[in-house]
Amino acid sequence: MREAITVRNLSYAYPDGTGALEDVNMSVYEGERVAIVGPNGAGKTTFLLHLNGILRGSDGQVEVFGKSMAKVKRGEIIKEVGIVFQDPDDQLFMPTLFDDLAFGPINLGLKEEEVRERVKNALLTLGLSGYEHRCPHHLSYGEKKKASLAAVMSMEPRILVLDEPTANLDPRSRAELIGIIKELNEREGITIVIATHDVNAIPELVDRVYVLNKTVITEGTPQKIFSDVELLKENNLEVPEVFKLFEVLRCFGYNCEELPLSIEEAVEHLTRTVGINDGHFHLHIHEHTHDEVRKLRSKYEHH
């Protein structure tokens, strides 16, 4: 499988000398969906800004589809990698939404007809058709989030990098944006890299997770990462609520070796369990139940 992003021994320090990234190594494959998680101050946003050349490390190398960022012109990088910032107001700055979406393609030197076609397609993809002449700063927060993504999609990148895409969204807007990101990956084959604290979205959005705390601590499937108790405690990480629920159920006798991470996985597991147990399953309190529940509470008390 072809590597879309290759990061080797990347280090970066802030202007005051504080180390932000130390010897980071990472590979993201074409068409893959990857999450980067870690505590506040772990360097996640700083790392993302290296993926399209906004920042450049003091040491190490970043490659996109085999091309070194240090040797590629800025205009070539932004054709390949699009970054959606956490705060949409950092991305939307023109008088109308059309202007914001057209800004990138115009600066690529595209003809007016193609610019208009790209804007039209991006608006359609994000469900914003008819918003062309709206002022971005008069949109709702959820609409701004979609608009900032549309502005990046008008550049037609092969890699989409998103910093906290679901942060501060209401449930409907969050679900809608998750669906859009999944569709961009599944329908158009866009490689997805997400930095997020929204652990409940991770099982829906990604195939693989990197834990970053200035350097890469480990990587693996969501199941592997969320099952590592010590890793979670050391890096101040949460687990999905569905995972916690099934840990509680297991204390009461529910037989579940691999805990579900999402609603879909939970439904599948419960359906399978009921199916092999004559249409029902039993929960019960045994002599160790209360001790197991206390241990479970203690496990998450740092949260």
The CATH number for 3-90+157-234, chosen from 3.40.50.300, 3.50.50.60, 3.40.50.1820, 3.30.70.1350, is 3.40.50.300
Average pLDDT rounded to a whole number, residues 140-168: 96
Domain parsing of the chain, residue ranges:
3-90+157-234, 241-299
Question: Which pair of tokens denotes residue 3?
Answer: 């590597």
State the residue for tokens 């193609």: 114
CA atoms of 47 and 179, how far apart (whole Å)? 25
Confidence of residue 302 (pLDDT cuts 50, 70, 90): low
Confidence of residue 42 (pLDDT cuts 50, 70, 90): very high
Question: Which pair of tokens denotes residue 60?
Answer: 């190490």
Which stretch of 24-28, 141-145, 264-268, 280-284 has the lowest confidence by average pLDDT?
Answer: 280-284
Whether the Cβ atoms of residue 122 and residue 151 lie closer than 8 Å to each other = yes
The per-residue pLDDT for range 200-242, each reduced to its tens digit, is 999 999 999 999 999 999 999 999 999 998 899 899 999 999 9
DSSP one-letter string for 230-281: HHHHHTT----HHHHHHHHHHHTT---SS---SHHHHHHHHHHHHHTTTT--
The per-residue pLDDT for range 43-75, each reduced to its tens digit, is 999 999 999 999 988 899 999 999 998 888 877
CA atoms of 11 and 17, how far apart (whole Å)? 12
Q: What is the pLDDT of residue 75?
A: 78
Beta bridge partners of 47: none
Q: What is the pLDDT of residue 4?
A: 97
Q: What is the mean pLDDT of the chain?
A: 93
Give the type of residue at 275.
Answer: G
